[in-house]
Structure 1
């Protein structure tokens, strides 16, 4: 379970997020929508453990990770979180297979098993024939699909996606959104999708609106 309680964040004395609370059960998938500049990416960074709240609690499976030291937080992100952010963060010196297998390597799983899992995810996002390709050979939309495969390969407890279909054509957008939803529900993970797209939000269990006053159904 993910429990977010009274989360607040200030920048340069300005209150960007206030009193954000949210509870997700295993297998639940929610969308967060809102106007540009309202703090959607800031909220996602806090939930991802990439930034620290000024106040509030972030509890994943009973552990308040807002209070963890950096080493413990790094291990939690490695083991339990999957990220699909607008900046792909695909490593240019690794093949697509190696990029997707990276979360498994970081957890100590190597060899052919990790490669087979990476190939399976590349196939699922429509890049099964590109496993040996290099990132510089891909379009922006293909890079996004690699990022999605990498986020899912280690079966994380919490999947966070920031505009994951922004660089995709409608057919591939529908494909990866379907994959995200299926993986979240089938594995009993939890998912948070930040999006401007009403079509993308339709595939989630709940749609929440982020405003300067907080998060609302």
Structure 2
């Protein structure tokens, strides 16, 4: 479903640096893979590249049969809108929309019939433990609730690929485990792939595979090797 082949990325500036070098990854349908690594190792950059939000300096990124490195902006946007769900560390929840309206955005952008939207939104609200909070504005929600809104928005359109950057960082342990179970359920039932970046060993342990991002690429992460 998702292949990164010898992907490299560097950034110019006052202190040019190589963020990723020779990264290889295969993510299969229905599989959940956790990426661990030190702060600044490039985990967020890796997710942005996998989404086609950024382009590598070298290598290929193939998602669902399409080489993302060759798509124009419109084609890349369509791939993301229809087939991907994102959970960003900064949430990116729109401040003037309610929780339900934020979650409904992917459905409306993908042309789902308006009469079918409320049921889908209600289902994911309940699934992430936000039943009864559908009319709340972002300023009325806690950090953990905002994170759950972001997760619900990423899942509501049943994407083929979910990319999650520290998806449980603001959640208590029980809620985090429930959210992870929801991500796993999505992967198994819909044949979706889940790629998540995390510092948490407990979160990583719920994945099918755990990989550690190092200057030399992605390496299998040995149990007990630390949570960073």
Instruction: Return the TM-score normalized by structure 2.
Output: 0.93
Instruction: Give the SS at the match of 2:56.
Output: coil
Identify the residue that residue 61 of structure 2 maps to in structure 1: 58
Could you tell me how far apart the structure 2 residues matched to 1:191 and 1:47 are? Answer: 11
CA contact under 8 A between 1:98 and 1:115: conserved in structure 2? no
CA displacement, residues 35-93 of structure 1 (integer Å, 9 cap, x when unaligned):
11111111111111111111111111111011111111111110111000101111111
Partner of 2:223: none
Shift of residue 171, structure 1, vs aligned partner? 1.6
In structure 2, distance between residues paired with 1:15 and 1:136: 38
CA deviation after TM superposition for structure 1 residue 14, in Å: 2.2
* Cα contact 1:3–1:23 (8 A) shared by 2: yes
Q: Which stretches in structure 1 are left out of the alignment for 5+ residues?
A: none
- How much does 1:137 deviate? 0.6
TM-fit CA distance, 1:110: 3.5
The answer on 1:214 being equivalent to 2:217 is yes
Moved over 6 A (4+): none
C-alpha separation between the residues in 1 aligned to 2:189 and 2:112?
22
| Structure 2 gap ranges (5+) | 221-228
Q: Which residue of 2 aligns with 1:201?
A: 204
The number of residue pairs the alignment matches comes to: 217
- Is 1:170 the counterpart of 2:173? The answer is yes
With over 3 angstroms needed to count, the CA separation of the structure-2 counterparts of 1:110 and 1:95, relative to structure 1, is farther
Which stretch shows the higher mean deviation, 199-208 or 91-100?
91-100
TM-score (normalised: structure 1): 0.97
- Measure the CA separation in 2 of the matches of 1:64 and 1:77: 13
**C-alpha distance in 1, partners of 2:192/2:202?**
22
Relative to its length, the structure with more helix (as a share) is 1
Q: Report 1:67-78 matches (<5 A).
A: 67-78=70-81
Q: Secondary structure at the match of 1:129?
A: coil
1:27-176 alignment, distance < 5 Å: 27-176=30-179
Tell me whether 1:182 sits opposite 2:192 in the alignment: no
Give the drift of 1:10. 0.8
